[in-house]
Amino acid sequence: MNVRVNIDPLWAVKTHQRLKIALLEMTTDIHRRSKVLAPKVSRNLVNSGVIEPIQDGYRIKYGSNKVPYARRRHFENKKNPQTKGYLSKAGDSVARGDTGKYFRGKV
């Protein structure tokens, strides 16, 4: 019995594109959620959040010249302790959700 399988020559390229799209969608959701959870006294911290491409995906970065305290606010905040870990909480929230929705799309 002979079995013949036709493999799309662009399979690896398409798979890589799908993964990058899924990672960007997931990163966007984490960024959106972290903006809700971040301290909002002057909104400078919230507005400083950006999504940056890196070698294997994307990263969310808070802080700028105007907001040098972003990292410190993530780890300590005596005035608003409920906002500590805003970026970690956002990532955990998205990870606990339906992560499969990011990987079901087609290119």
Looking at residue 82, the DSSP 8-state letter turns out to be: G
| CA distances (Å), origin 83, targets 5, 50, 74, 97 | 54, 18, 8, 21
5 within a domain of the structure (yes/no): no
pLDDT at 74: 86
> Tokens 């990987």 label which residue?
103
Q: Mean pLDDT of all residues in the chain?
A: 89
1 within a domain of the structure (yes/no): no
Q: Report the predicted TM-score, pTM, of the whole model to 2 decimal places.
A: 0.84
6 within a domain of the structure (yes/no): no
71 within a domain of the structure (yes/no): yes
pLDDT, one tens digit per residue, over 13-40 is: 888 888 999 999 999 999 999 999 998 8
The SS3 call for residue 17 is helix
3 within a domain of the structure (yes/no): no
Q: Which of 28, 3, 6 is nearest to 101 (CA)?
A: 28
Confidence of residue 7 (pLDDT cuts 50, 70, 90): confident
Our count of domains for the chain comes to 1
4 within a domain of the structure (yes/no): no
Domain that holds residue 28: 11-103
85 within a domain of the structure (yes/no): yes
d(CA 18, CA 104): 9
The interaxial angle of helices 86-96 and 11-37, nearest 10 deg, is 130
pLDDT at 102: 87
